């Protein structure tokens, strides 16, 4: 529907907000102007929170926010505010907790919350159909009832909202105790293992399955300690089933956000940058721990997708690709057998269909939803190994794979001509930090310099375009950076900078990591009382109804969880004992939370494990480009060593003296017999230096944690 007017969102940069700029609803962005109007006019606020790749957000916009009758109700009786949850995770976190309280556990997006003019929530839900539907109140019904209640009982509603706000304040109160012992990690892993699906991998649930990256990382850490084959089996099964399922894009690479079924077949088709970062990292861990080539290939597939589709010309990484194209979910990704035959011809189509489960009747039988394509639909997935299919088709596995690779390329080329899903091209500091971290790891483990180069480009972009006066911004698009950064932005970017230093030996990255850590401590650390820990928002952030300290690891790890590892790694690399104390303070502050609920605190528990196990400090001295240096580094990266720091020193570089003075691990380290040399140390006490990769491997394998 065309409208002759636009609302205040036309001035925003977020693609999600701009999607709503020509709605007849008089939307405002969150800010002082909208909040002032609510107070002046004594109107309640209707707060709608979503994001660009959200399928049901699009549905609710089309059904309700483009509707003139709905717009009239909202415009006459409410101040309507639209928020992109990816730009404003502070608001999303506060009001999602309110939504979960009001709906008794049913959060999600689009989030619909009604607030007093002071911003206190008094009613909440998620998606509402436009009209009453199967006993569920429609959006118009809800609006009319809330208008009536506000007019009749406004003062009473405001009192109740104050009580709810107090409950929200209590919800995130840290459960401070002594730092949990190392055994708590083992107990948590055992508890989590009981919930894993022994048939398809992942966490057993009624329906939706998300890639359990952080749980798998914890499993691998525990497996490294106790060699329990059940833990390794759970990791291998999950990584194998995910990579073979429809949640992975077999033609273009990359992972969709989650699967709507236990078998990983039907995804919710959006692709999020943070998922690409976290999932690629766990496949690298899996590859190091098991040596499985298919895990390496999956990690490469993710990285190559990100570099091809999500890296901007300026270097930063875009946020998401939509679930929908041509108004329908998943349309870009699905195939009919007829389409496959048209592209590949009968012979290769038969091979491809046998391997990727493409049938005449389709494998996604989703009927009756106007937002999903009709007719037989196939989501590409692998049900049997190449060896099984080759045997069935009486051919060599190598020949099968060669023909499948050619077929994938043909189908990918054809698919590229289809209308593509929408791209949310805003650049978020936190998500870029996650991607930089994973790419640096990928460059080391897979020996791919292009991944390191892409990570360095993104880091330079963030440093050049997404900070002002030494403070980070949250979001960037079309030449404009804005919104004060959150703890996650600092934590994830520092993690990425440390990774860049470790793979390049370039001191600039370590300098920036330390500087940003000190900035984070200055503005986010709680220096009052005994609680300590990092707040999610800065001390000079706008006043909201509460200021949270978050520890729960959700779709992304919490900033506090990531900061534990950052502080411990920087302590080792820079000799900063004060950083060690701050890591301990975070562990103490939230240990009670993790003990009560291991699920949702997986990255925190990884930090706890690192605290107890200590770090392998690895110094490599030698010309970076030389074969000897590369062989030593390859030896380090072949092993799964989650708790390690690496410091490189090239004697030929100009700033060698400064680097050696700056990084205690490198002080007085030299090449042995004029050849590239590795030192394996703990607390700066080193084993005998070696330039023999086999000896280095032995030292690392026997490194006593």
**What is the secondary structure of 502-570 as a DSSP string?**
HHH--HHHHHHHHHHHHHHHHHHB--STTT-SB-SS-TTSPP-S---------SS--HHHHHHHHHHHH
| Residue 1: predicted pLDDT | 43
Q: What 8-state DSSP symbol labels residue 207?
A: S
Residues 6+ apart with CB under 8 A from 160: 122
Q: Give me the half-sphere count of Cα atoms (radius 13 Å) on the Cβ side of residue 349.
A: 14
Domain with CATH 1.50.10.20 in the chain: 431-612
pTM of the model: 0.96
Locate CATH 3.40.30.10 in the chain: 8-171
User: Does 110 sit behind a cis peptide bond, omega within 30 degrees of 0 on the bond before it?
Assistant: yes
Looking at residue 4, its pLDDT comes to 57
- The CATH-assigned architecture of domain 431-612 is Alpha/alpha barrel (1.50)
Q: In sequence order, which residues have a C-beta less than 8 Å from that of residue 464 and are 6 or more positions away? A: none
Q: Phi first, then psi: give them for residue 28, nearest 5 degrees.
A: -120, 155
Residue carrying structure tokens 């030593």: 632
User: Are the C-beta atoms of residues 83 and 49 closer than 8 Å to each other?
Assistant: yes
Helices 139-171 and 89-103: crossing angle, nearest 10°? Answer: 110
CA distances from 63 to 48, 67, 130, 417, 522 (A): 14, 7, 6, 30, 46
Which parts of the chain have pLDDT scores under 50? 1-3, 705
pLDDT number for residue 134: 76
Residues 89, 52: Cα–Cα separation, whole Å: 14
In the block, tokens 């990983």 appear at 264
Among 675, 660, 696, 570, which residue's Cα sits nearest to residue 627?
A: 675
∠ CA 305-311-313 to the nearest 5 degrees?
Answer: 140
Maximum CA extent, the chain: 87
Give the DSSP H or E segment for 483: strand 480-484
In CATH, what class is 616-701? alpha beta
Pairing assessment for the beta strands 111-115 and 121-125 based on DSSP bridges = antiparallel
The CA-CA-CA angle for residues 416, 258, 216, to 5°, reads 120
3-state secondary structure of 690: strand
Structure-token pair, residue 346: 């009968």
Domain 8-171, CATH homologous superfamily name and number:
Glutaredoxin (3.40.30.10)
Is residue 125 within 8 A of residue 87, CB to CB? The reply is no
Q: Phi and psi for 335 in degrees, rounded to 5?
A: -135, 150
Phi, psi dihedral angles at 621 (to 5 degrees): -110, 120
């Amino acid at each position: 529907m065309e409208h002759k007017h636009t609302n205040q969102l036309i001035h925003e940069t977020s693609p999600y907000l701009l999607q709503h700029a020509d709605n007849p609803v008089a939307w405002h962005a969150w800010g002082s102007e909208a909040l002032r109007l609510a107070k002046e006019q004594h109107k309640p606020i209707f707060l709608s929170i979503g994001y660009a790749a959200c399928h049901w957000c699009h549905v609710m916009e089309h059904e309700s926010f483009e509707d003139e009758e709905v717009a009239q109700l909202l415009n006459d009786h409410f101040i309507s505010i639209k928020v992109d949850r990816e730009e404003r995770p502070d608001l999303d976190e506060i009001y999602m907790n309110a939504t979960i309280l009001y709906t008794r556990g049913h959060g999600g997006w689009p989030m619909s919350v009604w607030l007093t003019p002071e911003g206190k929530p008094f009613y909440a839900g998620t998606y509402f159909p436009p009209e009453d539907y199967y006993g569920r109140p429609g959006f118009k019904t809800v609006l009319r009832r809330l208008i009536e209640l506000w007019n009749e009982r406004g003062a009473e509603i405001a009192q109740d909202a104050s009580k709810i706000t107090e409950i929200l304040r209590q919800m995130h109160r840290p459960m401070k105790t002594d730092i949990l012992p190392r055994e708590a990690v083992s107990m948590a892993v055992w508890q989590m293992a009981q919930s894993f699906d022994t048939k398809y991998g992942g966490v057993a649930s009624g329906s939706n399955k998300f890639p359990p990256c952080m749980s798998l990382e914890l499993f691998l850490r525990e497996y490294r300690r106790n060699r329990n084959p059940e833990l390794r089996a759970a990791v291998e099964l999950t990584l194998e089933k995910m990579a073979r399922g429809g949640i992975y894009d077999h033609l273009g690479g990359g992972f969709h956000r989650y699967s709507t079924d236990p078998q990983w077949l039907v995804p919710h088709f959006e692709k999020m940058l943070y998922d690409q970062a976290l999932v690629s990292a766990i496949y690298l861990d899996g590859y190091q721990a098991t040596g499985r080539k298919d895990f390496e290939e999956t990690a490469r597939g993710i990285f190559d997708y990100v570099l091809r589709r999500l890296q901007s010309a300026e270097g930063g990484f875009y946020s998401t690709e939509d679930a929908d194209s041509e108004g329908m979910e998943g349309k870009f990704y699905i195939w009919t057998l007829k389409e496959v035959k048209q592209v590949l011809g009968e012979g290769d189509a038969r091979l491809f269909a046998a391997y990727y489960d493409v049938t005449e009747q389709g494998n996604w039988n989703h009927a009756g939803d106007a937002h999903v394509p009709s007719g037989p639909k196939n989501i590409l997935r692998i049900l049997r190994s190449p060896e099984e299919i080759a045997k069935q088709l009486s051919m060599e596995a190598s020949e099968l794979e060669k023909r499948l690779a050619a077929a994938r390329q043909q189908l990918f080329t054809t698919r590229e001509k289809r209308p593509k899903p929408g791209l949310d091209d805003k650049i978020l500091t936190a998500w870029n930090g996650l991607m930089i971290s994973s790419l640096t790891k990928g460059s080391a483990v897979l020996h791919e310099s292009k991944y390191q180069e892409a990570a360095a480009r993104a880091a330079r972009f963030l440093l050049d375009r997404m900070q002002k006066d030494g403070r980070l911004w949250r979001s960037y698009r079309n030449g404009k950076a804005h919104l004060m950064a959150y703890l996650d932005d600092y934590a994830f970017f520092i993690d990425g900078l440390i990774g860049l230093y470790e793979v390049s030996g370039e001191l600039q990255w370590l300098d920036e990591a330390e500087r940003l850590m000190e900035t984070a401590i200055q503005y986010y650390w709680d220096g009052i009382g005994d609680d300590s820990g990092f707040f999610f928002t800065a001390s000079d952030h706008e006043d909201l109804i509460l200021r949270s300290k978050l520890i729960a690891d959700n779709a992304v790890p919490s900033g506090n969880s990531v900061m534990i590892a950052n502080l411990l790694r920087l302590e080792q690399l820079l000799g900063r004992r004060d950083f060690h104390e701050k890591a301990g303070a975070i562990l103490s502050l939230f240990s009670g939370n993790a003990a009560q609920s291991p699920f949702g605190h997986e990255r925190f528990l990884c930090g706890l494990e690192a605290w107890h196990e200590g770090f392998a400090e690895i110094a490599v001295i030698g010309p970076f480009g030389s074969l000897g240096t590369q062989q030593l580094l390859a030896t380090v990266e072949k092993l799964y060593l989650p708790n390690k720091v690496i410091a490189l020193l090239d004697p030929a570089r100009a700033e060698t003296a400064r680097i050696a003075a700056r990084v205690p691990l490198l002080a007085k380290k030299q090449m042995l017999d004029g050849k590239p040399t590795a030192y394996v140390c703990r607390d700066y006490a080193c084993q005998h230096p070696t330039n023999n990769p086999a000896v280095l491997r032995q030292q690392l394998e026997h490194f006593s944690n």
